[in-house]
Structure 1
Amino acid sequence: MNTNPKHEHGLNAPHADKLYIGGHWVAPSSTETFQVLNCASEEVVAHVAKANKPDIAAAVQAARHAFDHSPWPRMAPAERAAYLEKMAQRFEALNDEFARVWTTETGILYKIAKPRIGLFLSGAFRQYAAMASSHPFVEPVRSASGHQAYRVQEPVGVVAAIVPWNGPAALMAYKVAPALLAGCTVIIKCSPEAPCSGHLFAHICDEVGLPPGVVNMVTADREASEALVRDPGVDKITFTGSTAAGRRIGAVAAERVARVTLELGGKSPAVLLDDYDIEAAAQMLGAPYYSYMSGQVCHSLTRIIVPRRKHDAMVQALSAIAQGMVLGNPMDEAVTMGPLAMARQRDSVERMVAQSLAEGARLATGGRRPAHLDHGFFYEPTVLADVDNRSFAARNEFFGPVLSVIAADSEQHAIDMANDTIFGLNAVVFTHDTERAMHAARQLRAGSVGHNASRTDFSIGFGGFKQSGIGREGGADGLAAFLESKVIVLDQAAQ
């Protein structure tokens, strides 16, 4: 395998034929590998080691030993933060490599990936390093009996961090950085479709000298991943992925009362109030959605809810934007939308569009594979009109470049429809009136609500209501997810 990330036929995945377990790059229990494809060309760019159940067991054992017997959980938070700072520096040095890997594996435009990857990677690690001095890990309190007491926050234990294919490096950062600061040990489980960021990540963990077993990295399929979730040596599972997979993980974890953080799917609404300009809203909804990973983002705003009299104008404005998108190689600066990450994802979007049309949605534009691109997993940016909020198109997450326009009879009708979903991850309100925006935002059942644009912010916190997840990632809540609270009451009068 060519390991030069700048070579169009190769990705930089250090030790691609090995797994990172117990502080060493080790051979897997079998010779099986996963093929990694360039989603724009369908060429094989890497083969990475496949972890099977014995490898999962070894990774858990290494993490368990590091948590139970190494100094890591017992270090002062500032000592652990020093490692996070070193890792942030290395992420900055390898920014371009992470960006190229992300583009090749998932189809995100390189011109978007390059500035964002540093924000996610080094930004997350620096934010959590700073929390070492600001977070109250030990708080003196007075007990009801008048005794001196302490509220102590201690690491939850061994963490299984299961990351998806669409944004692996960023999601690793927001799982691993707070877990490490808390004093946990971690097994990173990479997706078979996008494992190379995990190899780069593990290489950095090794390079900065994390104690053996504190971070372990494997790539595995569903069967081995379920073994990871079931392993009694794992105290906490943090998962990002589909709601269907999240339900399964939650059910398995519940059998042994393992802790979970689940960041799952969405069908997020953009609610346009009657005072906002259609063209201005379309500019904030169309090109940014299509350009950013071709819609392969859980918090994408895919239900566009507009006053009924503005429905056709919104369809026309979004269609014009879609028709102006330039599809092609995501490394090309002139391209404005890349491919989907894999063939099965494109096939899924095709089936879902077909079912939506069969139920009565109108195809305003797109809905096909582009005729001029005979390689890569491309699908035209698509707009569906006359969508009923109770229909398949409005109920299901496409995870692709498809927007649905829905007509509302009033502001309250729009909010009611926005909330009429099993999901609750993200939302946006378009209005020039800040008070109206705040009023609508408080009514929307979503973990994030933006005003006049999608404004999710991991530095504050991210997660969903309802079946969009359990818990939060990022910010102080993201650190709390890896801590257990303990109360210690001394046989001593409170000071």
Structure 2
Amino acid sequence: MDDNTLDHTSLFIGGRWVAPCHGGSVDLVEAATEKVLGRSAVGSDEDIDAAVVAARTALEGPWGEYSVAQRAAALERFAAALKSRAKTTAALVSRENGMPIALSIAVNGYGPAAMFGYYADLIRNTDAEDVRPSMFGGRTVVRREPVGVIAAITPWNYPQPLAAMKLAPALAAGCTVVLKPAPETALDAFVFAEAALEAELPDGVLNVVPADRAAGAHLVAHPGVDKVAFTGSTAAGRAIGEVCGRLLRPVTLELGGKSAAIIAEDADLEVFAANLADVSLVNNGQTCHASTRILAPRSRYADVVEAVTETVRNLSVGDPLDRATQIGPLVSSAQRDRVLGYIAAGKRGGYRITTGGGVPASSPLGWFVEPTVFADVDNTSRIAQEEIFGPVLAITAYDGEDEAVALANDSEYGLAGTVWTSDEAYGLALAARIESGTVGVNHYALDLAAPFGGVKASGLGRELGPEGLTPYQQPKSIYLGTR
């Protein structure tokens, strides 16, 4: 990758590259080298205002006149543009946030294109309206119209797919969007702008404005916005929810998690160990749905601790651009310090570290943290209750199924979870008892065709699947009299 191409000193508003109103910009630092990766424009309230106006103009103009077939074709062109950039986009994200490249190619490279293709097919095969016989005579036409202008606010950990989870259904529904990506991964967000130009979307359908929290708050409360879609921390989600509640503005919130992996008495530990990195430490632990609490039956506790410890100890830590790397650096020095602070808290709590516990000596540069396992952890402790967002696992013993379920549910979060058993029917029954929006049995992977989201402090609403399209549609009933 040519480093000279990494500076983006313009915002994307109204289908054009424009300079920020106040000339704001920020350096982005590469997670593995601590060197400046590039420079990104940063928008202000005035830039947000311009983007919302552009989105409204497009909604009331050419984009609002597109047929379903035209929107689907536009989404397919968008998907093709993203797919043609998949490998370079994936490498850029790995440099920004430390994600191992083997994962980044799948989720940041090809995943977003797949989402746009999925929603293009979905709207082609879903009627925009249906006619229902009325219980009192006559008929009712139920139309599904676009909600309007969408404020999409996305985080740095999975910047491309988490943006696509909002952009694809929003555009499929006929909405227009102002995308505010996280400053830490602002550079890759401009790939969406390039794709919009290549797909020949009407000006203003998609606007990309990296900005700080203050400008993000301005966007959330903007009178020209009709719905907010946010992925990020629970604390920020609560603040956004309060604003949207006061404004009676629809909002989707995909927030934090502290998920549990229940190891059943009959679990195949080899299967669990083989999937551990992907389920519990994916993206260096910077994943909201990771099963970072491991609940082990007391009768097999020592075997579980040994299997987890040996697996984590042997993970490959290093350059995120190396396909053999399983654990890369964290996104920033602040995030590394946060994770190390939790490790220190675990040590103060007297919990046993079986592997890891610090900064790897082999990585003098970059924001690396050793993948760490704590054993004998009390489920009420900070490291078991708070979202660490790094490569740290906590193992807790349980006695009997009821206690395992109680421990899994003893959390303010409810985003994900996993169950490990040799009996699938038992796994399904156990999964049904977990207070969570999603659960995996003997694995965990998001399905583009199924809803994803949480309960409790993990958020409101769902993304992906047909359920991910409906939040961007406004039902309208038109009552027809008898003929």
In the TM superposition, 1:71-86 aligns within 5 A as: 71-86=62-77
The answer on 1:166 being equivalent to 2:147 is: no
In the TM superposition, 1:93-492 aligns within 5 A as: 93-286=84-277, 289-290=280-281, 292-492=282-482
Q: Tell whether the 8 Å contact from 1:275 to 1:431 is kept in structure 2 after alignment.
A: yes
Deviation (angstroms), 1:75: 2.2
Deviation (angstroms), 1:455: 3.1
Q: Quick one: distance in 2 between partners of 1:76 and 1:360?
A: 63
Q: Tell whether the 8 Å contact from 2:14 to 2:204 is kept in structure 1 after alignment.
A: yes
Deviation (angstroms), 1:481: 1.1
Q: Tell whether the 8 Å contact from 2:279 to 2:291 is kept in structure 1 after alignment.
A: no
More deviation in 330-339 or 435-444?
330-339
Post-superposition CA distance 1:139-181 (Å, at most 9, x none): 1111222112111111111000101001111111110011001
Post-superposition CA distance 1:326-375 (Å, at most 9, x none): 22111123333210111111110011111122223222211101112111
Q: Tell whether the 8 Å contact from 2:154 to 2:162 is kept in structure 1 after alignment.
A: yes
Which amino acid in structure 2 is aligned with residue 46 of structure 1?
G
Q: Tell whether the 8 Å contact from 2:72 to 2:124 is kept in structure 1 after alignment.
A: no
Tell me the SS of whatever aligns to 1:58.
Answer: helix
Q: Quick one: distance in 2 between partners of 1:121 and 1:53?
A: 28
Name the TM-score, length of structure 2 as normaliser: 0.97
Q: Quick one: distance in 1 between partners of 2:325 and 2:171?
A: 38
Deviation (angstroms), 1:248: 0.7
Q: Tell whether the 8 Å contact from 1:12 to 1:97 is kept in structure 2 after alignment.
A: no
In structure 2, stretches of 5+ residues that fail to align are none
Deviation (angstroms), 1:12: 4.1
Q: Quick one: distance in 1 between partners of 2:427 and 2:326?
A: 31
Q: Quick one: distance in 1 between partners of 2:216 and 2:278?
A: 36
Which amino acid in structure 1 is aligned with residue 91 of structure 2?
R
Q: Which residue of 2 aligns with 1:3?
A: none
Tell me the SS of whatever aligns to 2:240.
Answer: helix
Post-superposition CA distance 1:36-74 (Å, at most 9, x none): 11100011011111101111111111112222x213123
Q: Tell whether the 8 Å contact from 1:386 to 1:407 is kept in structure 2 after alignment.
A: yes
Post-superposition CA distance 1:369-421 (Å, at most 9, x none): 11121110000000011111111111101100001101011111101110111
Tell me the SS of whatever aligns to 2:209.
Answer: strand
In structure 1, stretches of 5+ residues that fail to align are 1-5
Q: Quick one: distance in 1 between partners of 2:171 and 2:186?
A: 21
Q: Quick one: distance in 2 between partners of 1:176 and 1:287?
A: 26
Q: Quick one: distance in 1 between partners of 2:432 and 2:9?
A: 50
Q: Which residue of 2 aligns with 1:26?
A: 18
Deviation (angstroms), 1:116: 3.3
Post-superposition CA distance 1:171-205 (Å, at most 9, x none): 11110011001010100001110011211111110
Q: Quick one: distance in 2 between partners of 1:212 and 1:113?
A: 30
Q: Quick one: distance in 2 between partners of 1:206 and 1:283?
A: 42
Tell me the SS of whatever aligns to 2:350.
Answer: coil
Tell me the SS of whatever aligns to 2:26.
Answer: strand
Q: Tell whether the 8 Å contact from 1:424 to 1:447 is kept in structure 2 after alignment.
A: yes
Which amino acid in structure 1 is aligned with residue 449 of structure 2?
S
Which amino acid in structure 2 is aligned with residue 442 of structure 1?
A
Deviation (angstroms), 1:316: 1.8
Which amino acid in structure 1 is aligned with residue 392 of structure 2?
V
The 3 A distance-change label for structure 1 pair 259 and 19 is: same
Tell me the SS of whatever aligns to 1:317.
Answer: helix
Deviation (angstroms), 1:288: 5.5
Deviation (angstroms), 1:19: 0.6
Given candidates 60, 64, 76, the residue that maps to 2:56 is 64
Name the TM-score, length of structure 1 as normaliser: 0.95
